[in-house]
Each structure stands twice: as structure tokens, then as C-alpha cells.
């Protein structure tokens, strides 16, 4: 269980001097046909330093806020779908959604502990929970392809998405907008930026959108549910115009009824409801304090953040229109028993819920010398506690011996992370740069699992197990960036990563297997070749 809420507040009150990315000047254009983009004008921050995209030693895509709006991207998962060589299996539930970058990713949805692509929002790691976050008042999105474990840890073994929201500035700004569309789409959004003094500014962004589900009740013809999304973000900024920059950021978002419904024929867009429970919601809330200080030799940045992610999903175990094909092979008498059993709402419901509390602190120092040497080093600390429950308790125990999962499965994941990292880009000649990075991370996972069976469940009994996993992880990368011409660079990279062990959410019956078996830690290697052209044509 999470016990650090008071600590989170205390940490944010500590005046840790930090620095960070200077304000982005994104030059990303919309990728229409025959469009030409000048990579030298696109500024990116995926390596923790400000540099031209042309100089970045790995493949990446950049989209600014106007591009995302034009392409109707409303969530971080929508943004990933726009990126070449990124594949997405969107189930509407981050727990079971899958993301692959260049074919690297998980083969099945094992749960929220299985990270291959991290979502980093305003410098704060969100993991899989980040793919449900809304896109509004966004400055830019960067998608880095390939292992990013040196700077971002084991959650980025395939890549990551870096999202930057708009910071307060010293000019008054106010806007309000709306949206209308099919299936009774209606929405409203607003942005307000107020300079309170020469050095202090406040920014508020809010959005609300509702839309009917496209699934209808097969008997009544009515929409099954209404999809509802709301988001609010507030930022207070102090900037002395010289060396210090402080931003206090608080946010909240909620998505309701966005989880898909189990249907016998998904293409029909109709299903039998008959009072079965159909409700879901997913919430994110948090607060962060980012403090930056610019020295003559570099920039120091600190990000302290506390965030909470929670979800609740109530669904039938078997939809009414799924009963006929599922039990078609049973004798008529047994089939009637199963139809009556699942026809009772108390025997045909399941609730999946989870709560994630995360407290993190990152301190990093970066800079660039007059000779062109770029460097970054940092420390990262994180406490992440997660409670997961799958309550499939029925009203009665099944009589055919087919209901051994009748009960409540509860899992607790408490993970502590401490990491040191650093990376340097050394100009060997005018054309040749060498990039070398290393990260050492110590991780400890305390895992508890408990099964509470139905009182009449004779196939299983109450069981509880606890596990402790400790991993010492090392990630590194070494590469060469050679400029053949002023407009063309060839890059060769070798990357080594190490992913920590964990447990799946959707394990089978705990009491029958004697406890869950952990996924073992593993090593991964990547050998990358690619070229950066100063001007790239998209088609």
C-alpha cells in the first residue's frame, strides 16, 4: 500500500536547484504529401539536452501541437498511431493495450507492469498508464525509436514518447473552442494565460467532451453508453529572466466508458444488454515541481512529482449473445443450466480495479562546451505502489465444475528504483562524433497476491503468497555519428539493455498453482544503422 503522500508534499517544498530544457522551438511541419522538412530547424530534447534533430543519434519523429490537432489526435495513443514503424493494439484499456516500436514489444497483454514503451509527460514517467492521457494544450510530442534505457530506464526498452505541454508565458492569452460531430459529439475547451507580474505567470487549460458509443442494444436500439472525457491543467511559473525557472504544475483527467464491450460479433455493432453491468472509468491526477538553474557551464534541473492513476471496469463475464456459440456443444439439459446461470446478473459480472501511486525525484546536470562536447548526468529515485483487483465472485457456485475462478484476485506491487546515469557526445573531428552512455539501476519489487474464493467454491481455497525481487540493471549505448556531407550523416549504434523481472496481472488461479511465477529479468541488444538527411521528403 502507498504511504508516501505526506512525503510527496514535503519533497516538493525542498528548494532543490534544478535546470531543464529551455523552451522548445519546434519546427515540425504537417507531413502532407510532397512536404519537405528541414531537420536542422527542428529542436528536440529526447537526450535531455537541446539539440537539432539532425544531430540526434537515433531515429525519432516530432509533432507539434498544431499537427496533433489537425490530425484529430486526442490521446497519447493516437499520437503513437501516427508514427511510422510504430504499431499499436488499442483495446481501450492500457492494461491490455500493446505498443511495438520497429517490431519490439510484448506479445500479449500481461498487465501494467510490462513496459516496453514509456510515456514521459513534462519530464515525468507514466509507463503504460500514460497511453490513456489526453492531448490538449500540447507544445510538442517526440517519439524516440529504439532502446532509451540509458536516460529513461527499463520502461523504454523499445522507445518512448515524450510529451511537453505549453508553459505559462508573459503575454495574456485566452481562447475557447468547441466540437460537434456524429454520434452526438459535443465538446468545449478553454485556455487562459495570465501574466501576474514581470516574472510570474499562470496558465489554465480545460477540456470536456462527450460522445455516444457506437455500440447499440440489440433489443432496444439505444446506445450502450456515453463516452466522456474531461481534463484540466494548471501551471504557475516564476522566471527571473536570467538563470532561474520554477514551474508548479497540477493536473487531472478522466475518461469514462472507453473500454470495449465483449461481443459475439463485433462487426454488427449490436449486443444484448438485458441489465448486464457496463461501466468503466480511468483517472489520472498529479502535481509536479520543476526548478531549473542555468550556470555558465551548464544547466541543473530537478523534477519532483507525485501522481495517482486509478481505474474501474465492470463487465459481464459472458455477454448474452456469446452464450449460444460458447455452449453449443453441451447437451440441451446442461445448456439450459448454463443459460440460466449466466442469465442471472449476480453470476455474470466482474470488476477490475487498480490504483497506482508514484513518487519520483530526478536531478540532472547537462551542458555543452565551446568545443562541441555535449554531456548529461543524473540521479533518479522512484517509489511506485500499485494495487490490482479482479473480482469475479458470482452469486452462487457453478454446479458443472467449470467455475473454479469464482472469487476475488488481489495483487499488490511495491517497487523502489534508484538509478545513476550519464551520457557524453565527443566531437573527435569536424565530421565524426562519438556517443557513449551508461545507466546503473537498483530495483526492488515486493509483490503480494491473495485469492478469496466464493464460500461454496470447492475447487479452490483461500491462498496468499508474497515475493521479493531484487535486480541490479545496467544499460548502455555506444555509437558513431559521421557527417558524409553537411546534409547527410551516417549513424552506427550498439545498445545494451536490461529489463527487470515482475509478475503478470492476469495470472491463473493462485491457489491451484501455488503462487505466481515471476517473469525473469532479461538482457537485450540492439545494433542500429541509419542516416539523417538534412531535408527529408515525406510521401
Residue 54 sits at φ, ψ, to 5 deg, of -60, -30
Give me the pLDDT at residue 95, please: 62
The closest alpha carbon to 459, from 394, 413, 522, 506, belongs to: 394
**Bridge partner residues of 79 (DSSP):** none
Angle at 195 between CA 192 and CA 201, to 5 degrees: 85
- The CA distance from 498 to 491, in Å, is 23
pTM: 0.84
Give me the pLDDT at residue 96, please: 64
Question: Do residues 473 and 444 touch, judged by C-beta distance below 8 A?
Answer: no
Residue 325 half-sphere exposure, CB side, CA atoms within 13 Å? 7
pLDDT digits (tens, 9 = 90+) for 266-305: 667 788 887 777 888 999 999 999 999 999 999 999 999 9
Residue-wise burial string across 371-395, b where 16 or more C-beta atoms lie within 10 A, e elsewhere: eeebbbbbebebbbbbbbbbebbbe
Q: What would the grid cell of residue 415 be?
A: 517497487
The closest alpha carbon to 236, from 223, 224, 226, 245, belongs to: 245
- The CA distance from 341 to 329, in Å, is 17
Q: What would the grid cell of residue 483 be?
A: 557527417
**SS3 sequence of 80-103:** HHCCCCEEEECCCCCCCCEEEECC
End-to-end CA distance of the chain: 51
Give me the pLDDT at residue 233, please: 98
- The CA distance from 187 to 210, in Å, is 6
Question: Do residues 276 and 225 touch, judged by C-beta distance below 8 A?
Answer: no
Q: What would the grid cell of residue 67 be?
A: 499537427
Torsion of CA 341, 278, 460, 336, to 10 degrees: 10
Give me the pLDDT at residue 29, please: 35
The closest alpha carbon to 463, from 407, 502, 421, belongs to: 407
How far is residue 173 CA from its own chain's centroid?
A: 30
Give me the pLDDT at residue 164, please: 94
- The CA distance from 364 to 367, in Å, is 10
Give me the pLDDT at residue 421, please: 97
3-state secondary structure of 488: strand
Residue 301 sits at φ, ψ, to 5 deg, of -135, 140
Q: What is the pLDDT along the chain (539 residues), one digit of tens a residue?
A: 434 433 333 333 333 333 332 323 333 333 343 333 445 557 788 888 888 877 788 888 888 888 888 888 888 888 888 888 888 776 666 666 678 887 776 665 556 676 778 889 999 999 878 887 888 999 999 988 888 889 998 888 888 889 999 999 999 999 999 989 888 889 999 999 999 999 999 999 999 999 988 888 888 888 888 889 999 999 999 999 899 999 999 999 999 987 767 676 766 778 888 777 788 899 999 999 999 999 999 999 999 999 999 999 888 888 888 888 888 888 888 888 888 888 888 888 889 899 999 999 999 999 999 888 999 999 999 999 999 998 888 877 655 555 567 888 899 999 999 999 999 999 999 889 999 999 999 999 998 988 888 777 666 677 888 888 898 988 899 989 888 877 777 888 787 777 777 777 765 444 445 566 777 666 777 777 767 665 443 32
Q: List, in order of start, the domains of the chain with CATH numbers.
A: 5-538 (2.40.170.20)
pLDDT digits (tens, 9 = 90+) for 495-523: 777 777 777 776 544 444 556 677 766 67
- The CA distance from 216 to 227, in Å, is 13
Question: Do residues 24 and 164 touch, judged by C-beta distance below 8 A?
Answer: yes
Q: What would the grid cell of residue 393 be?
A: 465472485
Per DSSP, which regions of 185-298 are E strands? 185-195, 200-212, 216-217, 226-239, 244-256, 270-271, 279-294
- The CA distance from 137 to 126, in Å, is 18
Residue 58 half-sphere exposure, CB side, CA atoms within 13 Å? 26
Question: Do residues 301 and 243 touch, judged by C-beta distance below 8 A?
Answer: no
3-state secondary structure of 344: coil
Angle at 152 between CA 57 and CA 73, to 5 degrees: 80
Q: What is the DSSP string of 382-410?
A: EEEEEEEEEE---SS--SSS--TT-EEEE
Give me the pLDDT at residue 6, please: 37
Residue entry with cell 481501450:
92
Amino acid at each position: 500500500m502507498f504511504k508516501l503522500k505526506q512525503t510527496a508534499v514535503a519533497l516538493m517544498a525542498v528548494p532543490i536547484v534544478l535546470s531543464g530544457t529551455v523552451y522548445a522551438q519546434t519546427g515540425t511541419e504537417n507531413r502532407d504529401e510532397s512536404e519537405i522538412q528541414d531537420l536542422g530547424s527542428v529542436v528536440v530534447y529526447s537526450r535531455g539536452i537541446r539539440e537539432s534533430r539532425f544531430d540526434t543519434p537515433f531515429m525519432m519523429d516530432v509533432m507539434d501541437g498544431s499537427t496533433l490537432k489537425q490530425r484529430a489526435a486526442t490521446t497519447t495513443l493516437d499520437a503513437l498511431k501516427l508514427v511510422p514503424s510504430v504499431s499499436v493494439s488499442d483495446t481501450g484499456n492500457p492494461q491490455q493495450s500493446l505498443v511495438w516500436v520497429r517490431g519490439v514489444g510484448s506479445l500479449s497483454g500481461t498487465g501494467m507492469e510490462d513496459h516496453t514503451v514509456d510515456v514521459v509527460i513534462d519530464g515525468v514517467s507514466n509507463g503504460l498508464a500514460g497511453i490513456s492521457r489526453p492531448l490538449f494544450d500540447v507544445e510538442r510530442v517526440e517519439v524516440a525509436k529504439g532502446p532509451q534505457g540509458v536516460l529513461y530506464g527499463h520502461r523504454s526498452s523499445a522507445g518512448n514518447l515524450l510529451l511537453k505541454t505549453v508553459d505559462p508565458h508573459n503575454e495574456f492569452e485566452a481562447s475557447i473552442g468547441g466540437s460537434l460531430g456524429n454520434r452526438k459529439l459535443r465538446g468545449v475547451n478553454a485556455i487562459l494565460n495570465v501574466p501576474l507580474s514581470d516574472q510570474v505567470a499562470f496558465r489554465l487549460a480545460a477540456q470536456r467532451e462527450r460522445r455516444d458509443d457506437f455500440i447499440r442494444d440489440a433489443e432496444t436500439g439505444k446506445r450502450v453508453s456515453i463516452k466522456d472525457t474531461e481534463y484540466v491543467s494548471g501551471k504557475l511559473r516564476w522566471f527571473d529572466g536570467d538563470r532561474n525557472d520554477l514551474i508548479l504544475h497540477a493536473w487531472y483527467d478522466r475518461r469514462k466508458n472507453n473500454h470495449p464491450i465483449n461481443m459475439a460479433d463485433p462487426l454488427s455493432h449490436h449486443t444484448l444488454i438485458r441489465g448486464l453491468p457496463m461501466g468503466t472509468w480511468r483517472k489520472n491526477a498529479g502535481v509536479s515541481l520543476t526548478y531549473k538553474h542555468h550556470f555558465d557551464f551548464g544547466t541543473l534541473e530537478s523534477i519532483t512529482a507525485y501522481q495517482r492513476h486509478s481505474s474501474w471496469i465492470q463487465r459481464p463475464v459472458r455477454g448474452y449473445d456469446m452464450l449460444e456459440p460458447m455452449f453449443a456443444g453441451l447437451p440441451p439439459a446442461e445448456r439450459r443450466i448454463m443459460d440460466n446461470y449466466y442469465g442471472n446478473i449476480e453470476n455474470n459480472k466482474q470488476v477490475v480495479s487498480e490504483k497506482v501511486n508514484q513518487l519520483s525525484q530526478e536531478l540532472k546536470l547537462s551542458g555543452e562546451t565551446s568545443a562541441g562536447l555535449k554531456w548529461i548526468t543524473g540521479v533518479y529515485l522512484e517509489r511506485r505502489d500499485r494495487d490490482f483487483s479482479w473480482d469475479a465472485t458470482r452469486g452462487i457456485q457453478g454446479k458443472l465444475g467449470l467455475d473454479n475462478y469464482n472469487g476475488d484476485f488481489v495483487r499488490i506491487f511495491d517497487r523502489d528504483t534508484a538509478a545513476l546515469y550519464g551520457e557524453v557526445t565527443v566531437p573527435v573531428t569536424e565530421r565524426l562524433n562519438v556517443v557513449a552512455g551508461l545507466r546503473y539501476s537498483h530495483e526492488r519489487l515486493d509483490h503480494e497476491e491473495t485469492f478469496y474464493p466464493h464460500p461454496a467454491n470447492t475447487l479452490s481455497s483461500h491462498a496468499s503468497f508474497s515475493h521479493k525481487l531484487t535486480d541490479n540493471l545496467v544499460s548502455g549505448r555506444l555509437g558513431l555519428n559521421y557527417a558524409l556531407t553537411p546534409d547527410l550523416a551516417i549513424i552506427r549504434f550498439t545498445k545494451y539493455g536490461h529489463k527487470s523481472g515482475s509478475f503478470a496481472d492476469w495470472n491463473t488461479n493462485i491457489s491451484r498453482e501455488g503462487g505466481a511465477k515471476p517473469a525473469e529479468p532479461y538482457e537485450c541488444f540492439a545494433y542500429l544503422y541509419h542516416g539523417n538527411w538534412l531535408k527529408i521528403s515525406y510521401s
